[in-house]
A and B are shown apart, each in its own frame.
Chain A
């Protein structure tokens, strides 16, 4: 990844076009939002795991919805769509059994997603400092 014409290039796993529209070049604010997302996500991940373990479909759906929204703010389309799938399946599921595979995939994707977001925070801050 490199800086081109003073436009921040987001990580390829993120929807860069969408993020550029969303933050309209305000790199400092983008870093702030990425930071907020990293801070808020663990609570909703924990809520998802608790609901899944308790076989509580409604709570799982609600927590997946919140996680999905947070990932959307950092343009993480792949994990967002998987969370959307969980949310949708919860709408018709009577227990969390049918979500075992989806949850497994999400757990696998989570650490890498977190790593990318943290890396982007560093890069955004660095880019902003260079701009200032």
Chain B
């Protein structure tokens, strides 16, 4: 690892947070950019900037580490730090990089950090995206052409697909959609919104207009959105 990785620690037990912070410094591999005792303060920080790695406790006041992962608008490496092995299955489902059972030794910590930045493999072929998707609505599967989707809005555990004719609500997560939708066509503009870039009519301040409907742009996404627009 040539450059230091940026990271944050989300942990409500000061003893555990200090312990981890010390390991990060000792390793010389990580810059700790913040230590947060709960999910909401961590998310406020992550709204403004991204980090390479999140060391994430699971059980914290006001929300779990898994809830934080559900709300992330980018894809950092996540190393779960918990003293409950019962979360291992969930960790697997969330594709976390590693699972550290507290208290863990420095050796075990280093093993986890090594997994964050393994030798780079040859670039894989770009994934093929379909020009449509099927979503489950009211016990049936509805086919939606990508070109018909104006934007997608997150509503807690559900997402709403907005087309010119109709809105479809489906049990899903933004994270899942981000992985399934063609990034050439769709762009995340806010923690709760993905838009079809070809459907944007205009943009004023931090609002995108698509067929007279308003979609907010999140601060953390604004630069990326501006880069994607063909501004001359």
Chain A interface residues (CB < 8 Å from chain B): 21-22, 24, 29, 33, 36-37, 40, 62, 65-66, 68-70, 72-73
Contacts and interface: CB of A to CB of B under 8 A. Distances in A.
Given A22-B103, A29-B22, A62 B59 contact: yes
Contacts of B107: 21
B83 to A, nearest CB: 5
Interface in B52-109: 59, 83-84, 102-103, 105-107
Contacts of B12: 66
A33 B15 contact: yes
10 contacts: A22-B103, A24-B105, A33-B15, A37-B15, A66-B12, A66-B13, A69-B13, A70-B13, A73-B19, A73-B102
Interface residues on B, range: 10 to 19
Contacts of A22: 103, 105
Interface of B: 12-16, 18-19, 22, 59, 83-84, 102-103, 105-107
A68 B103 contact: no
A73 B16 contact: yes
Contacts of A65: 59, 83-84
B22 A70 contact: no
A73 B22 contact: no
A33 B14 contact: no
Contacts of A29: 22
A72 B106 contact: no
Contacts of A73: 15-16, 19, 102-103
Nearest to B17: A36
Nearest to A61: B59
Contact of B106 (A24, A68, A69, A70): A24
A41 B226 CA distance: 50
